Amino acid sequence: MSVITAAPPVSRTRQLAAATVGNIVEWFDWYVYSMLALYFSSQFFPKTGDPVVPLLSAMAIFAVGFFMRPLGGLLGGMVADRLGRKKALTATVMLMGVGSLLIAVAPTYDQVGVLSPVLLVLARLLQGLSTGGEFAASSTFLVESAPEGRRGFFSSFLYIGATLGNLAAIASVAFLVAVLPDGAMHEWGWRVPFAIGTLGAVAGLFIRRFAEETLALNDPADPSAPAGNAKTARPSAFEFMRTHPKECLLVFAINAAPTLYFYVFSSYLPTYAHITVGFEMKNALFVGLISLTYFAILQPLMGVLSDRIGRKPLLLAFGGGFTLLTIPLLNALQNSFLSLLLVQMAALTLLACYTSITSAVMCELFPARIRAAGIGLPYALGVALVGGTGPYVATWLADAKMIDAFGWYLTILAAITTAAFLRLKESYKTGLPQ
């Protein structure tokens, strides 16, 4: 007599931990670069007598990471669809760890000359590829790991990880700046967070080793195949664009402006307040810690709410809210701690209506075999072309004495995004497309 033994149930906690730890590492490394550029820029570039020149060079290399994200989204998505989500998640956290290690141990310009900035560029290329691929793979992995009726809740852990990574970056840099003399920070202190990021990537690799694959890579009739994901032939390159062009355009449209809002209201707002009302930047750190903690707490609450009432009500609350309230919120900024905190928390409340469920919304557009690539490239293009431009647009408008136009720029984008949300079909009660 033959006995068929059912596969053990997937540990939902293990799945959530595997996805979240990677996002924490990814975004910790991403943010510490921008926070520490002031300290390490002079180490990687020749001294010119003008301290601004090395800083601008370091930030230009930071931008390289943004423009590598579409390629990372495409490659990471293709790996996830062809070889499985778990292999893609392993690759992305390894790339981020190698990039961080390169920066942590890189020799200075005085030691090796031009090789120093070359290594910095290489590290940012790897990190840009990693970040683009991580979003595609972890979005699909999280949502496919969710039991029916809880996809919104599982989706929320993507931005929980991203926010915790941001908070960890702020805390580590703040601690080092507080305990180390300025000279030590410029000489070697800036290397410490990158070393921490490398160790975090190793921890992420270990945790992801025990995750369960969510893409069926074998015959769907096989009882050991992951449930809920039928699999036929492996997808060809760019098949997602040929077979689902409308869905790809929707992914771009529903993410481009919201990611811009994320960068503006999660990290750039203190600088905007400094430009417009003279806000004292020394208080920005504490505002950020409080408001981002609040933002992280909101994610699972909004995710659960979307599982009860649907995705579209929350998306329309985000789009309609920012269409109506962006200018009033920016105009409410004053040179006070409480003013910035209340404006940032109000904006992040609206933003959480989008961030908590964006992975679920996108995954519900594509069948399993092209899901990761269908999300990865359009999303990363939206981030690269629109999402990361907010600080630059605001700075340019401020230099042109037109800073008030920034609010209208954001408002118009929010209105366009709301129109894209209206095109979406409600799908929270249906199963994932197969």
Question: In this predicted structure, what is the pLDDT of residue 347?
Answer: 97
What is the pLDDT confidence band of residue 246, given thresholds at 50, 70 and 90? very high
pLDDT digits (tens, 9 = 90+) for 91-115: 999 999 999 999 999 999 989 988 9
Q: What is the mean pLDDT of the chain?
A: 88
Q: Using one digit for the tens of pLDDT, what is the confidence trace for 136-172?
A: 999 999 999 999 899 999 999 999 999 999 999 989 9
Average pLDDT over residues 167-181: 91
Write down the pLDDT at residue 414: 95
The pLDDT-based confidence of 228 (bands split at 50, 70, 90) is very low
Interatomic CA distance for residues 206 and 219, integer angstroms: 28
Instruction: Give residue-wise pLDDT tens across range 380-401.
Output: 999 888 877 777 788 778 778 8
Calculate what percentage of the chain has a pLDDT beyond 90: 62
Q: How many CA atoms lie within 13 A of 253 on its CB side?
A: 17
Q: Is the pLDDT of residue 226 over 60?
A: no
Q: What is the dihedral of CA 16, 17, 20, 26, to 10 degrees?
A: -150
Check pLDDT > 60 for residue 300: yes
Please give the helix or strand (H or E) that residue 38 lies within, else none: helix 12-44
| pLDDT at res. 399 | 75
Contacts of 83 (CB under 8 A, 6+ apart): 217
Residue of 11, 104, 41, 80 whose CA lies nearest to 376: 80
Nearest-angstrom CA–CA distance, 421 and 415: 10
Phi, psi of 411 (to 5 degrees): -65, -45
Lowest mean pLDDT: which of 88-92, 226-230, 275-279?
226-230
Q: Tell me how far CA of residue 36 lies from CA of 7, 110, 238, 259, 373, in angstroms.
A: 47, 19, 38, 23, 33
**pLDDT surpasses 90 at 83:** yes
| 213 vs 10: CA distance, rounded Å | 9
**Residues 412/417/418/422 CA torsion (nearest 10 deg):** 150
Evaluate if residue 3 carries a pLDDT over 80.
Answer: no
DSSP track, 140-188: HHHHHHSPTT-HHHHHTHHHHHHHHHHHHHHHHHHHHHHHS-HHHIIII
Determine the Cα–Cα distance for residues 65 and 31; give it in Å rounded to an integer: 12
As a whole number of angstroms, the distance between CA 171 and CA 222 comes to: 48
Question: Which residue is associated with the tokens 């199963």?
Answer: 431
Q: What's the pLDDT band for 51 if we cut at 50, 70, 90? A: low
Lowest mean pLDDT among 13-27, 47-61, 178-192: 47-61
Please give the model's pTM, rounded to 2 decimal places.
0.88
pLDDT higher than 50, residue 219: no
Up-side HSE of residue 367: CA atoms within 13 Å toward CB?
14
The Cα–Cα gap between 396 and 400 comes to: 6
Determine contact, residues 391/262, Cβ cutoff 8 Å.
no
